[in-house]
């Protein structure tokens, strides 16, 4: 059983997606905190004047101390509506939480040093604030180390430097500090839960989009990537190429050596193809022993070079069934986008080029230009 305090790790290949997820979450919480700040801070200020009146002359000082979080809340909302995709969410969430904490600790110190009768009210306000700002800590205790650490350190330093005795100082800070500990625990548990939930969702998505035998994309996943790449190509007038690859006479391997050996050959082939393309390219098991390779931002000459590289990669090292060398070769067909209305037309040309490679003796690369399509 996994311990609650076992820290889950996000795999390296998923970290960009996790950072984007955290950024979206931080934006939601920062906007929520901004609206709450704009509503609650003025209400508390009015209540200080109406329900629990502060001594004469302090109302203006309290207002000045409450202005910074109000200004930051307005800036956060402006960024949300005008720069929604910017890198600001986590920074603004932490800054807003920190400023609110500095406001409440500052009010507590101000009224304590002045000896006003509303010091207990300020302590209660600090307790409430300490609990509330934990929501903006999307990275758990890592964020709260700043949000809580600076205000409480400043509070303790100011109390000590003002000559406040330790018993009185402890009476002022003990309950807010206890709430800070609770806030850290809750924020960290929520962060761990989010990491686990994210990893689980990514695993489900990965399993749904991956061929279980080879670890390559499955046909469904590749079809989605083709639609995205074709739309990008149409919008920016970029090219892309497709390579359709098929093992030669692979049925003979399965019939002679068994499907277990055939599966091992396919796994080995998948690794060789991965080593032959760039990280931004995509490879899918299209069906059986047939594979489709998407080469992004690639023209016909570059695509032919990559296809030939794959063909040589298959030939340069033997496939084995125990001590027996398997006679494995591969044929490849190349199609390049050229004003096609959809990626199916490019797939069709790559498939026809593959058929031509089979007809011309196998173990070779062919390309079919659009002008030849349909002849």
Separation CA 26–CA 93 (nearest Å): 7
In terms of DSSP H, where are the helices of the chain?
Answer: 15-50, 59-82, 89-114, 119-132, 141-147, 149-161, 166-209, 219-236, 250-257, 259-274, 300-316, 343-359
Closest CA to 22 of 139, 109, 116, 135: 139
**Residue 107: DSSP 8-state:** H
Q: Cite the beta strand spans of 248-356 per DSSP E.
A: 282-287, 290-296, 319-321, 324-326, 330-336
Say which residue the tokens 């069934």 belong to: 321
**What confidence score (pLDDT) does residue 306 get?**
96
pTM over 0.75: no
In degrees, rounded to 5, the angle at the alpha carbon of residue 231 between the alpha carbons of residues 374 and 28 is 160
**What confidence score (pLDDT) does residue 51 get?**
61
At residue 332, the 3 state secondary structure works out as: strand
**What confidence score (pLDDT) does residue 96 get?**
97
Domains of the chain: 12-207 (no CATH), 219-370 (3.30.70.270)
Say which residue the tokens 């076992």 belong to: 6
Tokens of 324: 């027996």
At residue 285, the 3 state secondary structure works out as: strand
* Contact between residue 352 and residue 338 where contact means Cβ atoms under 8 Å apart: no
Q: Tens-of-pLDDT digits for all 375 residues of the chain? A: 344 456 688 988 888 899 999 999 999 999 999 999 999 999 888 776 666 666 667 778 888 999 999 999 999 999 999 998 889 999 999 999 999 999 999 999 998 998 888 888 889 999 999 999 999 999 999 999 999 999 999 999 999 999 999 999 999 999 999 999 999 999 999 999 999 999 999 999 888 899 999 999 999 999 999 999 999 999 988 899 999 999 999 998 888 888 899 999 999 999 999 999 999 999 999 998 999 999 999 999 999 999 999 999 999 888 887 777 888 999 999 999 988 889 999 999 999 999 999 999 999 999 987 544 443
**What confidence score (pLDDT) does residue 243 get?**
97
Separation CA 23–CA 20 (nearest Å): 5
Separation CA 184–CA 187 (nearest Å): 5
* Contact between residue 366 and residue 336 where contact means Cβ atoms under 8 Å apart: no
Separation CA 203–CA 6 (nearest Å): 19
In degrees, rounded to 5, the angle at the alpha carbon of residue 78 between the alpha carbons of residues 75 and 82 is 140
**What confidence score (pLDDT) does residue 374 get?**
41
Exposure on the CB side of residue 234, measured as CA atoms within 13 A: 11
Please tell me the chain's helix, strand, coil percentages from 3-state DSSP, rounded to the nearest 5.
65, 10, 25
Number of H helices, E strands in the chain: 12, 7
Closest CA to 151 of 92, 104, 90, 95: 104
HEC string of 46-74? HHHHHCCCCCCCCHHHHHHHHHHHHHHHH
- Cα–Cα distances (Å) from 154 to 105, 219, 334, in that order, read 8, 59, 67
Count of CB atoms situated within 10 Å of the CB of 271: 13
């Amino acid at each position: 059983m996994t311990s609650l305090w076992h820290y889950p790790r996000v795999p390296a290949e998923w970290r960009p997606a996790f950072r984007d997820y955290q950024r979206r979450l931080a934006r939601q919480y920062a906007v929520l905190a901004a609206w709450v700040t704009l509503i609650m801070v003025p209400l508390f200020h009015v209540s200080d004047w109406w329900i629990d009146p502060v001594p004469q002359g302090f109302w203006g000082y309290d207002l000045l101390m409450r202005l910074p979080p109000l200004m930051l809340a307005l800036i956060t909302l402006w960024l949300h509506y005008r720069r929604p995709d910017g890198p600001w969410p986590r920074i603004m969430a932490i800054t807003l939480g920190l400023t609110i904490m500095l406001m409440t600790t500052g009010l507590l110190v101000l009224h304590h040093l002045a000896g006003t009768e509303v010091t207990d009210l300020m302590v209660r306000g600090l307790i409430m604030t300490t609990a509330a700002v934990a929501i903006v800590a999307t990275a758990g205790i890592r964020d709260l180390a700043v949000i809580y650490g600076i205000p409480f350190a400043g509070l303790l330093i100011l109390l000590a430097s003002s000559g406040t005795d330790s018993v009185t100082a402890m009476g002022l800070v003990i309950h807010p500090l206890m709430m800070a500990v609770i806030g850290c625990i809750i924020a960290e548990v929520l962060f761990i839960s989010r990491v686990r939930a994210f990893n689980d969702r990514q695993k489900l998505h990965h399993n749904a989009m991956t061929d279980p035998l080879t670890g390559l994309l499955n046909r469904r996943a590749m079809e989605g990537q083709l639609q995205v790449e074709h739309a990008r190509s149409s919008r920016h007038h970029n090219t892309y190429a497709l390579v359709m690859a098929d093992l030669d006479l692979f049925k003979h391997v399965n019939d002679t050596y068994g499907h277990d050996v055939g599966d091992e050959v396919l796994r080995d082939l998948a690794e060789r193809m991965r080593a032959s393309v760039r990280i931004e390219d995509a490879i899918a098991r299209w069906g059986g022993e047939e594979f489709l390779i998407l080469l992004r931002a690639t023209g016909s000459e570059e695509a032919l070079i990559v296809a030939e590289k794959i063909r040589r990669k298959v030939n340069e090292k033997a496939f084995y069934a125990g001590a027996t060398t398997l006679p494995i070769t591969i044929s490849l067909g190349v199609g390049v986008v050229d004003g096609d209305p959809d990626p199916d037309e490019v797939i069709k040309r790559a498939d026809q080029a593959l058929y031509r490679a089979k007809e011309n003796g196998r173990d070779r690369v062919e390309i079919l230009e659009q002008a030849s399509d349909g002849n």
